[in-house]
Amino acid sequence: MRAVDDEMRVPIDGELDILTARQDARELATALGFDGVSQTLIATAISELARNILKYAGHGEILLRSAARSGARGITVVAADEGPGIADPALAMTDGFSTGHGLGLGLPGTRRLMDDFDLVSKVGSGTVVTTTMWARRP
Ligand SMILES: Nc1ncnc2c1ncn2[C@@H]1O[C@H](COP(=O)(O)OP(=O)(O)O)[C@@H](O)[C@H]1O
Ligand SMILES: [Mg+2]
């Protein structure tokens, strides 16, 4: 296995990039001591965020980095694009809201899977989702 950097950046331009981001996240999460279930939840969150990038913005990037707070270690996923942005972020966080004939569960589901979640979006400028999962103590 290759060395895991403290921060990884994965450009999202197609389906294969989603797999790369998921795999990189698993490596980083393993290095940080996350169990397999948590790794799967993180990978699921990345799939949703990266798929939104492809579908609504066309391209963007996923940043993966380790986080730390008072002894706890975490993994932070940043999904950023310079796409059309979201007109009503609060509405987009509602279960079932979709402008793309989707299930409308990607953003609210990701918020439930992860511990911390922040969505910043501006119409015409793009969207940045920053979300963190903290490692459970064994
Ligand atoms: N990166 C993004 N850029 C622009 N709009 C987005 C982005 N991500 C999500 N959205 C908007 O938020 C809505 C809800 O997203 P989501 O919960 O993933 O559901 P779905 O993808 O099934 O529509 C989308 O339908 C879209 O309108
Ligand atoms: Mg979605």
Written as tens digits, the pLDDT of the chain (138 aa) is 455 667 899 999 999 999 999 999 999 999 999 999 999 999 999 999 999 999 999 999 999 999 998 888 999 999 999 999 999 999 999 999 999 999 999 999 999 999 999 999 999 999 999 999 999 765
**Residue 47 in contact with ligand 1 by CB distance below 6 A:** no
In whole angstroms, give the CA distance from residue 1 to residue 102.
Answer: 36
CA atoms 134, 23, 65, 106: torsion sign: negative
Tell whether pTM > 0.85.
yes
Cβ neighbours for 119, distance < 8 A, ≥ 6 positions apart:
86, 89, 92, 93, 107, 127, 128, 129
Ligand 1 atom with the smallest distance to the CA of 81 is: 1
Q: Fold for domain 7-134?
A: Heat Shock Protein 90 (3.30.565)
Tell me the CA–centroid distance for residue 23 and ligand 1, in Å: 23
pLDDT for 1: 42
